[in-house]
Amino acid sequence: MLPDRAVLIENIKISLVSIRTHMLRTSLTVLIIAFGIMALVGILTAIDSIKSSITSNFARLGANSFTIRNREMRVVIGGGGGGQSQVYRSISFEEAVAFKERFDFPAQVSVSIFGTGSTVVRYRSRETNPNVSVVGSDENYLVTSGNEMETGRNFSSHELQFGENVVILGSDVVKTLFPDNENPLMATVTFGNTRYQVIGVMKSKGAAMGMSDDLRCIIPLVTARKNFSRPNMNYTISVNSNNVADMEAAIGEATGLFRVIRGVRAGESLNFDIARSDNIAQALIENLRYVTMAASLIGIITLVGAAIGLMNIMLVSVTERTQEIGIRKALGATRKVIKQQFLAEAIVICQIGGILGIVLGILIGNIISVVIGNPFIIPWMWVIGGVALCVGVGLVAGYYPAAKAAGLDPIESLRYE
């Protein structure tokens, strides 16, 4: 074992000397390999971060929640080969309220409506950026959305019934409008040309997938209907089952009840969708699979180009070092040792490029991770995979030049000029 280890170490030293001797062409090959690995590791790191963000964001809603929403438009193909779109009507306020009142199941039900996603909230001389969303809902919204109250209180029955101008603010809105630990409760803020009294502040949840409940204002449902009125307002129903084991039963009960409320006859397809929070997360993650495949394809194509360039460099190196090979064979070096020398050189070049690409890929991937509000991550699986891939590229690109070098005749090699 010791002689083989000594030969391997000596071959690596010779490889490093050869790399320093031909620094320019080696650097170009290293950069090609580095860019391929960087593209692969960088995009896959970002995808891992996005998956983590999706999973954590929907996990906040819990595995025992689901949402009833309007069904998206679909295209119906006619007999003549043409297609026409089928648009499903919005879920009305009366339908949503009827469901909440008639859903006889151990669960919390909330009805909500999206007011706007780009409002500016003002308090005295301070104001937020125009990226605050407004949601109108009822007393169960905090439970079904996975939020908690930090200070203040929830809506009262009087405020919900008569549509009072009161608001529960997200934590980021409070930080902007009420710095230095100023108490926001009972203060009056303005958005959408209407004044609202602050009655509560939600706990911070952080941002995920570019969305944040911390940049949100919750107002009573009737208030949202008055102040953000528009034609065909589409309401969303959220259900939070008291027991995870009862989820399937709750969904079945909700589907049957809402079919009756919406007037869906037996045999007709549903004109609404029921989406579980964990199913939504899995669907989004499944769509990321295509991005992963595209990133892998880009990285592999780049590495194929790098392998061709590396093979070219190694063939040139064999030609330039023909006399050196002859001398080593004359001194007793076997075909195996010569082959190992050139294979080691190809692998060392690939590993230098691979390490550089992995470092750059992790940095670039984590820039996206930080932007979407996730912590710095190191994708060890992709790091190990990148190192193994570089070894494979080195072996594939270096084998033919190494075999050619090992097969040279020592006498002819010594006479080569």
Q: Give the tens place of pLDDT for each residue, 350-389.
A: 888 888 888 888 888 888 777 766 777 787 887 888 788 8
Query: Quick count: other Cβ atoms within 10 Å of Cβ 119?
Result: 17
- Residue 416 has a pLDDT of 55
- How is residue 69 written in tokens? 């929403």
State mean pLDDT over 200-223: 82
pLDDT of residue 168: 97
Q: Where are the domains of the chain?
A: 2-57+283-415, 89-270
HEC profile for 4-24? HHHHHHHHHHHHHHHHHHCHH
Q: Is residue 412 very low, low, confident or very high in pLDDT (cuts 50, 70, 90)?
A: low
Total residues belonging to the chain? 417
- Give the pLDDT band of residue 282 (cuts 50, 70, 90): low
**Residue-wise pLDDT tens digits, 5-50:** 676 677 677 777 777 777 777 787 788 888 878 877 887 788 777 7
Furthest-apart CA atoms within the chain: distance in Å: 103
| Amino acid letter, 133 | S
Give Cα 17 to chain centroid, integer Å. Answer: 43
